[in-house]
């Protein structure tokens, strides 16, 4: 579990390095806040889902679906809040956040499915 969380956070750090070096477009301060929010969303969601492994398959499935849905709603809600506040560069930041979200969601799903199959 810690390997997966550290790998996900390293993906976010790589994203910040690419933005800082101007390889990827975007405002650095906005990207820092977005990456911190994404890290919080995924670490807390991963912890909730992972604790459901010990409670049985049905409980794990319910927790996994609920966590994934809440993560998606939080991410899209965060982008909507940025859009309504008319933050400069929200299109680039939103697109970048969605790409990071999909990558981390795929990573989280694969790791949790492997953990269920081991059990």
Residue in this structure with the two tokens 């990573």, named with its chain if needed: 107
Is the confidence at residue 1, as pLDDT, over 70?
A: no
Mean pLDDT of 12-35: 82
Rg from Cα positions in the chain: 15
Confidence of residue 28 (pLDDT cuts 50, 70, 90): confident
Give every CB contact of residue 116 below 8 A, 6+ residues apart in sequence: 53, 57, 60
Q: Is the dihedral of CA 106, 108, 111, 112 positive or negative?
A: negative
Q: 0.75 cut: is pTM over it? A: yes
What's the CA gap between 13 and 7, in Å, rounded? 10
Residues 58-94 pLDDT 10s:
777 888 888 889 989 998 898 888 889 888 888 888 8
Residue in this structure with the two tokens 């991963």, named with its chain if needed: 46
Give the per-residue pLDDT at 51.
76
Mean pLDDT of 32-47: 86
């Amino acid at each position: 579990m810690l390997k997966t969380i550290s790998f996900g956070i390293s993906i976010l750090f790589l994203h910040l390095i690419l933005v800082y070096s101007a390889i990827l477009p975007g405002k650095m301060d906005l990207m820092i806040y977005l990456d911190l929010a994404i890290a919080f969303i995924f670490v807390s969601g991963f912890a909730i889902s992972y604790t459901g492994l010990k409670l049985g398959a049905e409980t794990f499935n319910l927790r996994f679906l609920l966590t994934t849905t809440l993560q998606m709603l939080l991410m899209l809600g965060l982008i909507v809040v940025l859009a309504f506040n008319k933050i400069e560069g929200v299109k680039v930041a939103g697109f970048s956040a969605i790409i990071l979200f999909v990558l981390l969601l795929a990573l989280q799903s694969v790791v949790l499915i492997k953990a269920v199959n081991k059990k």
